[in-house]
Each structure stands twice: as C-alpha cells, then as structure tokens.
Structure 1
Amino acid sequence: MKSAKKILALSLATATMMSLAACGSNNSAGEGTSDNPVTINVWAWEPTLTPVAKAFEKKYPNIKVKITNAGTAQKEYTAINNALQASKGAPDVAQIEYFAVPQFVLQNSLKDLSEFGADKFDGYYTPGPWASVTYGGGVHALPIDSGPDAMFYNKEVFDKAGITEAPKTWDEFYEAAKKIRAIGGYITCEPTNVAVTEAWIWAAGGKAVTSQGENITINYANDPVAKKYYAFMQKLIDEDLIDTKLTMWSEEWYKALDDGSLATITTGAWMAAMLKDGVPTGEGKWRVSNMPQIDANTDGNGEDGGSSLAILEGSDKAAAAYKFVEFAAHDREGVKIRIDKGQFPADTETMADESFLTKTDPYFGDQKYQDVLVEGAKKVGDQWQFLPYEVNARTTYGDYVGKAGTGELTYQEAINQWQESLIQYGSGQGFKVKEG
C-alpha cells in the first residue's frame, strides 16, 4: 500500500506541511485559557452543529467556535484541498463523510486523535462508522452520525396521486412514478448523484468495488445487480418519470420539495434534520419508509453518507479543536442536542434508547420514524466497499452519467466510460486496478 499512498499523497504533501501554520492563529498552545482564549474554525454543512457550538461555548467559555458552511460534501473537500495547496485558509475542524476519510488519510491531512484518547472509544460507536474513521490505523476523526438509507416521501403528494402506501419494490416505485407524473410532478430527480446510485445497488445486494491494500477491482459496469439498476433508471429516463434537470441540494431542488413537484428523496437517515431545516413548510406532509427493494424476496439496505469531525493536521489549536470534536461526537450533551434536532446517531447507546426509538415528530405526521431508520440500519449489507479515492470518483461521476440524463449516452454506456476513467485514475495514483 505504501507506493499507492505515496503517490496519492504527493500532490498535497507539500501543501499539507506548509499548512501547519495556516489552520489556526498564533496561539501555539491552542488550549483555550482565560489568558489565551482561542477561536477554532469549523467547516461543516450540517445545521445541528450550530446549537452544539453554542452549548460548547457555555461549557468552555475560553473557546469560541466559528462555523462556516464551505459547501456540502465534495464542494467542501475541494475547498479544503485548495486551502491546503494555497497554504492558507484551511479550517481547524472539518466535517468529512466516511467515504472521504481514506483519501484525506492518504494525503496525510488529518490528525490522529489517539493522542487525545480517542482510541478508547472503540465500542461506543456502531461498527461501520468506527471502521471508517480508523481506516489505516489511528483514529482520524470521530463519528457524529450515520446514514442508513431510507425513502423520505411527501404523503400529501402520494395521496393526491392515489398512492396508498410507500413503494416496497422497484416495480412499485415505477408504478408510483407514473401516477405522480400524471399529476404533473416527478417521483425523484437527478440520475447523476453517485451516492443515490450506490445506495440502490448496495441495498439490492450489489458490490461494485473490491479493495485490498493497493489491489482494487472495479465492477460498477458489470455487477449483475448494478446492471439491473442502470436498466431501471434508463426506463425512468426514457419515460420521463424522473427529473433529469434538478440537482440535489440546489435552491431549485429545495423549491421542488417545498411545492410538491418532487415527491421523494432516497438518501441517508440524516436527511430527517436536513429536510426539516431546508423545507420548513413541509411539516406534517413528510413520512419515512424503508428503501424500495429490487424484488419482494430481498430485504437489504445500504448507507448514504454519515459523517465525522476531523482535525486538520496543520491546526495549531488542536487541543481546543479536539474538545469541540469530543463534545459534539461523544459527550452526551452534545450528542443529545443533535439527536433532538433530528440527526441519526452513530453511537450504540442512543440507538438502543427506548425514548429515541418511540419518539414522534409532527414534521413527519407524528410517525415513529426513528424506528424505521433503526430497522434500516440493521439491514445494511456488509459487502460494500468504497474506493480509496472515492472523492475523485464522486466528483467525476456526473461528467459521465449526466450524458445519460440528456440522452447523449445510455446509462450503461455512461457507467462504462466512468469506470474506465476510475481505472486509469487509480492506476495513475499507484494502485493496481483492474476491471471486474
């Protein structure tokens, strides 16, 4: 693995070293005391971290937290890399999804939190998130949530379209899509979102990547389950049953969710908090169900996201930064704030809490939706692996699959081309990559 790690790290190794003076202020201790108060810079897109920061500042009055939304997911990662390359402007703490942790680890960009005692938290978090933040040894971040997939749907739109219950299979999803299109809306959007693609294939039992050290086999193009998904998406595109113009997280996307012209989102459990924040007028309209299955004989699930808080290697306020990370991710007060705001936990204690499982929410029509999400968490298959350069893969996905939305390529043709680009990129980074 050393050769791949060295090559992948090369583009940012110099910038990372130079960033040692870029992430923080001139307070070398970085502790945050009455004599030397500090402000830590946190880049995060998740809204529930704002009330967490307020509670943290009450507990640690000598540490101020400045939260900046530098963009969601890939946009933030690009901004971090740009800041590292420029040797200035990088944050002390960054929210990083689990799939992206390996790439930042290989770039030597994240601090090992074991020096602060984080290695003692094994067992506190569910296995998947903990395995993600401990990739390659050490503890490179602390989990703050997890993302078992679910379908969030607008019951008001479903009722108007004559859909009496959430679709349980792909065929039922297709039939529901036709009914919603008949009243002028779309059941879902954007076939170019790789996280959504992976979620459906993962839930159906597919496996697109096998990664062992520097040896990688990529099988997005030929996995039998994946091929069925591409054919399914192609049918939705051909029959104009999916909105190919909307982009997830855009202002137009939120507007479509608000006015009912977009009826569902298939994504991670964390969407409960994002939906309430982004579409406040939707209270009482939305519900949560398990992911549609490839057929009636399948009962699986995947994960979409879930994220952690990491400290950039160059932060000179790491001690103060860790106090915030630990408060948000491990301290019961910090964890409870986020859970009460609708986030889905990564820790076993919360997930087994009866009050959490039976909690209702007027936004979701007083549905015990956490029960549904925990059920989904138990069904997540362990077969899925991410590429060690997943950030690159997700960044380029739309360049190819976007052509399927415009009709320039079929979905399968677009995937074929994307896979070839992944093989070439990985080989160029020193990995031994082959097609499955």
Structure 2
Amino acid sequence: MRKFKRASTSRVTVGTAVVSLALLATTGCSSSDAAGDAAQAKSVSMEFWGWAPGYDKITAQWNAAHPDIKVTFKQIPSGAKGGYDQMTNALTAGKAPCLAQVTYNDIPSMLVKNALMDITSYASGDTGKYLDWTVAASSAGGKVYGIPVDTGPMALFYRTDLFKKFGISKPPATWEEYAADAAKVQAADPSVAFGTAPQDAYDMAGLTWQTGTSWFGTKGDSWQVSIDNPGTRKVATFWQGLKDKKQVMNNGNAWDPNFDKASEAGKVMTFVNAAWAVPGVKGDLKDLSGKWAVAPMPTWAAGDLTSSNSGGSATSVLTGCKTPKEAERFAAFLSGNPDAVSTGISVGGLYPASKAGLDNPLLSQGDPYFGGQKIYEVFKQSAAHIPTTWVVGPTFGQVEADYSDAIGTGTYAQATTTVQQKTVDKIKSLGLSVTGG
C-alpha cells in the first residue's frame, strides 16, 4: 500500500539543490526524437508499473477509450519493498516500462539514478490542474518529472466498540490525551494495545512533519540534513515512552499480519495513517465493518488543527521511453479523468491531487464500513492543515532502509542519530554538497 484539500496552504518542496541532481540526471533520448517516433507509429503500446490498488482498473478504462494507445499494467511491490530496484534493474537491462508510480519522497533519488524523463514540454498544459505543492514535489530544477496522482492527509483510525468497552467517550484530540487513554486501557487490560508504534522512516516522517520541522533543507547548491531535529526528537521521546510501557504494539503496523491478527482479536484500538489506508482496513478486516471510525490526528497542543501528510505518488515517465507524449497523456488521464479519479478513490483510497478531483461526489458520501461516517470530511480537514515546511530529500530510499534497521536494534532516539549521519554520508557519496544541519 504505501510501504504505501484543498491543500493550497501545504507544500512539499524539492529544494534548490536539485540543480545538482539535474546535472547528474540526463534523459536517454531527446523529447523531439521520441515525439517523432510516436508520430510515425500507427499505434502505441506501453507498459506501466505500479502498486496502488485500482491502477489495473484505471488502465482498463484508458484502453477502452484509447484503442490506438494500449497500456499494459504490471503490479509490482511498493517502491520501498523492491519496486524501485525492479525499475532501475530494468533500466540497466534496457527493458524498463514507459510509465511508473513514484512517490514524491523518491523522485529526487530516482533522478540521481537517471531514471526519470523530463516531460515538461508535454505536461506544461496540465500542471495547473493539480495542487501546487504536488506539482513542486513532482518537479526539480524547474522541470516536470511526474504527474501528481494523490496525497496522504493523515488521521486517527479507531475502534468505536473498544472505546465504548473501555469507557473512552471520544477519540483523543491531543497526544497528551492519547497517552492518557493508552495508560487507562493498559490498567484495565494489559493485553490490549492502544495503538501501533512507528516502524520505519515513513511513520517517523509523517509524525515529524506535524511538528513543523523538516528532515531536509537547502542552502544555495548544498543539501542540509536535519533528521535529528527537535521535532523528530519530540516524536521519538513520546513513542519510546509508550513503547517502553508496552502500551502500543511493537511487532506490527498496518498492514502487517500481526496487526490484522491483533485487530481481529480486539487487541489493538487505534492507528495513525493516511487516507490511502482506507481500502486496507476494509479489505483486510472485513469482519470488523461498522467498528472502525476516523478522527483528526491528535495534535501537540489543545485547540490546534495541525495535521500531516504521509505518502502520495506521481506517475513518471522512465528514461528511454520512446513515446513520452502518449505516456504523459495516460498519466494525465489517470490523475484527472473523473471516472479514473472515482476508481482511485473507491478502490485505492487515493485522495486526489487533482483540484477538480477534490469535488468528486465520492468524497462527500458516508461509508457503510465506517458506520456511515463521511470519513473524507476528516481527511479534507487534515489536508487543509498540513505544515508548509517539509522538504523532500535526495536519498529517501536509503533513509527508509536505515531507519527500519536502526529502529529494530535500538531506541527511536538512537535510530535518529544513526540515520542522520548515514544520510549525510550517503549524499556525500553521490558527489553532492551537504551539511549536517
């Protein structure tokens, strides 16, 4: 899934240091040559690799409406679970697809690998249709490297039946209330976990983003790495406390089989995640229909509405694609066609990056699985209160791998310190200018 708003106030930036990335990344064929090849062809066939639920159905919708431009969808593991390795291996072998799903976090690192094609000349007429920050996150050095698909506004998923059982009248509005509720549940039944502990960089990034700090920044042509910052340390201290007291699950997170098993047994009450988690709950935990609800993400101060974002992807054209014009057309269809957007929402839980898509009727309907709750109203509020401070760095794949390893062997604070240094070292190894804070 990850691992899989008007949000005009939120922004993810790729930073001015992407000029350095642009110098490292050059496309394998010129846009004019590729366009000429496409113009001479009577029909076009392309392959699209991705992992989001519903992409196969959207591809079928495209093919039905565009018989001369056939797209074949191939399901691959999510990028962090091997999907990006498959892409880069295919590029090396000269067998890469034309199109691929790439998360905003990973666009800079894919540029370093020379994996993405500049599609500015084809996409320039489409970029205004998407939220500004998603366009910025899909671009580098003033060039477009992907068409935004979705965002990941975060919220608290919670079990209404278990809240009633333990006498908790409402979902926690603050992290202080969250900790108090966790202590109350543990006192009543130590076998029940109130939530799930962060497991990797995606979890830590989403929680840190809410604090208004960022793991990366830029100064001139240099990257600045500040993973070990006050916001991350606040998150680390909070969750380490809950983890040490055994008030949260430490051996699974959505959608780990351990989480599913614990949920089915009534042994876990909440988890924090993004809008795209909705199909996972509904698909993996069918028997719990009517027992889950969605509330705003707890905040660090009473009365605050600050939320966060986790995930979100673009559709990129990979280096060497011979039909980039047609590839961009498909990408724009996937993100902006009303029927495609509806499929993305209903099947994949994709919260649209398309401005028009935010008015999709499905986002204002009650969901029977969640007791009829209009859950996307919660995500809409979340999306409108995401800090503008987050900067996407050039090595998120490395950050993810190192954080996962470090969390498994030490405390969150120790993991953060370790990943800080490893990230600085990794960026230096790429020949890019970097400072440690």
Please tell me the TM-score bracket, short chain as reference.
0.7 to 0.9
* 2:294 alignment partner AA: V
Distance 1:3 1:202, change over 3 A: closer
Partners of 1:154 and 1:248 lie apart in 2 by: 14
Match of 1:194 in 2: 201
* 2:436 alignment partner AA: E
Distance 1:255 1:73, change over 3 A: farther
* Unmatched segments (≥5 aa) in structure 2: 1-16, 30-35
What displacement does 1:32 show? 11
Say whether residues 1:217 and 2:233 are aligned partners: no
Question: Which structure 2 residues correspond to residues 27-426 of structure 1 after superposition, within 5 A?
Answer: 29=37, 36=43, 38=45, 40-75=46-81, 76-85=83-92, 87-116=93-122, 118-181=123-186, 182=189, 184-221=191-228, 223-341=229-347, 342-352=349-359, 355-404=361-410, 410-426=411-427
Distance 1:369 1:84, change over 3 A: same
Asked if structure 1 preserves the Cα contact closer than 8 Å seen for 2:215 and 2:225, the reply is: yes
Partners of 2:18 and 2:79 lie apart in 1 by: 27
Match of 1:407 in 2: none
What displacement does 1:301 show? 1.6
Give aligned-pair identity as a percent.
Answer: 26
Asked if structure 1 preserves the Cα contact closer than 8 Å seen for 2:174 and 2:302, the reply is: yes
What displacement does 1:215 show? 1.5
Asked if structure 2 preserves the Cα contact closer than 8 Å seen for 1:32 and 1:62, the reply is: no
Q: SS where residue 403 of structure 1 aligns?
A: coil
Distance 1:337 1:201, change over 3 A: same
Match of 2:434 in 1: 433
Q: SS where residue 287 of structure 1 aligns?
A: strand
Partners of 1:107 and 1:213 lie apart in 2 by: 22
Asked if structure 2 preserves the Cα contact closer than 8 Å seen for 1:350 and 1:356, the reply is: no
Match of 2:21 in 1: 5
Partners of 1:427 and 1:177 lie apart in 2 by: 42
Asked if structure 1 preserves the Cα contact closer than 8 Å seen for 2:18 and 2:140, the reply is: no
Partners of 2:75 and 2:391 lie apart in 1 by: 28
Partners of 1:323 and 1:3 lie apart in 2 by: 27
- Which stretch has the larger CA shift, 278-287 or 417-426? 278-287
Length-normalised TM-score, structure 1? 0.85
What displacement does 1:125 show? 0.9
Asked if structure 2 preserves the Cα contact closer than 8 Å seen for 1:4 and 1:429, the reply is: no
Partners of 2:403 and 2:341 lie apart in 1 by: 34
Q: SS where residue 223 of structure 2 aligns?
A: strand
RMSD of aligned alpha carbons = 2.8
Distance 1:428 1:63, change over 3 A: same
CA shift digits 1:367-404 (9 cap, x unpaired): 11111111111100001112122222122211212213
Partners of 2:290 and 2:248 lie apart in 1 by: 25
Distance 1:282 1:41, change over 3 A: farther
Distance 1:400 1:348, change over 3 A: same
Asked if structure 2 preserves the Cα contact closer than 8 Å seen for 1:56 and 1:327, the reply is: yes
Q: SS where residue 152 of structure 1 aligns?
A: strand
What displacement does 1:49 show? 1.4
CA shift digits 1:414-435 (9 cap, x unpaired): 2111111111111222233223
- Which stretch has the larger CA shift, 93-102 or 253-262? 253-262
What displacement does 1:130 show? 1.2
Asked if structure 2 preserves the Cα contact closer than 8 Å seen for 1:268 and 1:306, the reply is: no
Asked if structure 1 preserves the Cα contact closer than 8 Å seen for 2:335 and 2:341, the reply is: yes
Partners of 1:320 and 1:44 lie apart in 2 by: 18
What displacement does 1:347 show? 1.6
What displacement does 1:70 show? 1.5
Match of 1:23 in 2: none
What displacement does 1:238 show? 0.9
- Which stretch has the larger CA shift, 413-422 or 259-268? 259-268
What displacement does 1:231 show? 1.0
Partners of 1:299 and 1:64 lie apart in 2 by: 45
Match of 1:24 in 2: none
Q: SS where residue 171 of structure 1 aligns?
A: helix
